[in-house]
Structure 1
Amino acid sequence: MAVLGCYINMVHPVQAERRKALDRFKEQIRYARDFGCGIIGTETGNVHAEIIYTEENFKEQPYLDVVESVRELVTEAEKFGVIVGIEGGVNHPIHSPIVMKRLLDCVDSNNLQVIFDPVNYLTPENYMNQDVIIKQAFELFGDRIVILHAKDFVIENNEKKEVPVGKGLLNYNAVLPFIKTNKPYINILLEETKEPDIIDSIAFLKRIYYQTV
């Protein structure tokens, strides 16, 4: 098992629900090794109980709430020798590579690492600059990436729509050379790619991976 997913809303507006979510994550920390797994993953949630897009997530208080929650989870993870993997995205308090780097600096522990999903940082407004965004992420926290999510997207009617890997707009030539050079044994997890496209998507990733220098 590459990563144990325990995706919670760590900034839930109802404190009782937030506490329940954090305790659930900490319980899985305690049992992760029983599954032969050393990484537990989550996104950072939403300031609303329902996961909807809101720029309220980008304010300072949600970020500080994330720091508090992550610090508590990482403290527990240190006791059991497992890693908390945080996945950022444009609809979360950790909404950019710069904010992810800030979180890593604030919670100074090797038991905090990154699940990197480049599509998560892209929008209809910025996807044309994806190479710059991906490069920035690698420069800021490339050494802290422990899982790579592989998925793809297209833009339709000014909205981002996910498609099978290799059939969209993500420039894997900007992603896989860094992975091959710096993280050659990392687990790459296909997301949002289902049958009958899985075999073709894996072949696409392998073709780019092995043709890079």
Structure 2
Amino acid sequence: MKLGIFAKTFEGTEPATVLNSVAQAGFTCAQYNMACSGLQPMPETITEAQARAVTEAARSSGVEIVAVSGTFNMIHPDPSVRAASLRNLATLAERCAGMSTGLITLCTGTRDPIDQWKAHADNDTPEAWRDLLDAMGAAVELAERYNVDLGIEPELANVVNSAEKAYRLITALQSPRIRIVLDPANLFEVATRDEQRSIVSAAIDLLADRIVMAHAKDRNPDGSFATAGKGVLDYAHYLGRLKSIGFSGSLVTHGLSAAEAAGAAAFLKHALDGKPAGAVR
């Protein structure tokens, strides 16, 4: 597996500055965010020169751009907000080739009008699912037009809040453009060791042929998020299950500070090599 990190973990508004920091921390790939180019995460306009600067920085730093973030609230309660976001998604998709990447990561969204990562009681309604299908259908059309894939991530606060919901969406859309970004820490909050292993195994088995990227963060015993290797997630089990399905894509960590990046890289390298984690915590 290739070891990566969210580029926006590091400060900077120039691709070269940010991607050099990624390399110096011990990572070989990154999930890019347009904020690292001094733009909005989902900008209305991206010039050819701005896209080319990402490719040039990736080449000079030796960091592969394995994805670019295209997250927006796909089931925002205001249809005009969704429509504007889809226009920005088109802008991003058009420039992916110029940035040397073919994967856009998405957020399936929530009915919360302010925070796209906050759960809402209406996320499980038929109307929310209908709006997701409409938005994803439009996103798939863009993906086909610009030859990119779309990575959706099951997470508890969103409408696709489980591996089963992700599978249902894949089945409904019937598009090979829909891929899975798997983050086991987004599949449970508080669980015993056996429970989390069962949840993670079931998700990987169900979505195996669609998993294009694996995320790496962690959970504290109280359910709050933690940096990879500093919580309760059984990384030996998680990475072992990924290896068992032949996954050889990118393992991308996030939800950490720049100061923690090198330590997280060391932990993940040890975990991938099957070495005890204690020495690097």
Please say if 1:13 is aligned against 2:80.
no
Structure 1 residues 127 and 113: CA distance shift in structure 2, 3 A: farther
Deviation per residue, 1:35-67 (Å, 9 max, x gap)? 001000111111121123222212222122112
Structure 2: unaligned runs, 5 residues or longer: 1-64, 276-281
User: Sequence identity, in percent?
Assistant: 24
Structure 1 residues 33 and 127: CA distance shift in structure 2, 3 A: farther
Please say if 1:143 is aligned against 2:143.
no
Tell me which structure has the larger Cα radius of gyration. 2
Name the CA distance, whole Å, in 2 between partners of 1:178 and 1:71. Answer: 31
Name the CA distance, whole Å, in 2 between partners of 1:135 and 1:181. Answer: 10
Do the aligned partners of 2:217 and 2:253 also contact (CA within 8 Å) in 1?
A: yes
**Higher relative contact order by CA 8 Å / sep ≥ 6: 1 or 2?**
2
TM, length-normalised to structure 2: 0.70
Kindly report which structure 2 residues correspond to 1:174-185, keeping only aligned pairs within 5 A, or say none. 174-185=237-248
| Structure 1 runs of 4+ with >4 Å offset | none
Secondary structure of 1:113's counterpart equals: strand
Aligned residues: 208
Name the CA distance, whole Å, in 2 between partners of 1:183 and 1:69. Answer: 31
Name the CA distance, whole Å, in 2 between partners of 1:33 and 1:96. Answer: 31
Name the CA distance, whole Å, in 2 between partners of 1:17 and 1:151. Answer: 30
Do the aligned partners of 1:149 and 1:189 also contact (CA within 8 Å) in 2?
A: yes
Which residue in 2 is equivalent to 1:198?
261
Among 121, 129, 133, the residue aligned to 2:199: 133
Please say if 1:152 is aligned against 2:218.
yes
Kindly report which structure 2 residues correspond to 1:71-90, keeping only aligned pairs within 5 A, or say none. 71-90=137-156
Name the CA distance, whole Å, in 2 between partners of 1:108 and 1:82. Answer: 16
Which residue in 1 is equivalent to 2:7?
none
Deviation per residue, 1:1-36 (Å, 9 max, x gap)? 111101101111111111001111122111111100
Secondary structure of 2:272's counterpart equals: helix
Q: Which amino acid is the alignment partner of residue 227 of structure 2?
A: P
Structure 1: unaligned runs, 5 residues or longer: none
Secondary structure of 2:198's counterpart equals: helix
Please say if 1:48 is aligned against 2:112.
yes
Name the CA distance, whole Å, in 2 between partners of 1:58 and 1:165. Answer: 30
Do the aligned partners of 2:153 and 2:183 also contact (CA within 8 Å) in 1?
A: yes
Kindly report which structure 2 residues correspond to 1:34-73, keeping only aligned pairs within 5 A, or say none. 34-51=98-115, 52-73=118-139
- CA RMSD between the two structures: 1.7
Name the CA distance, whole Å, in 2 between partners of 1:63 and 1:127. Answer: 31
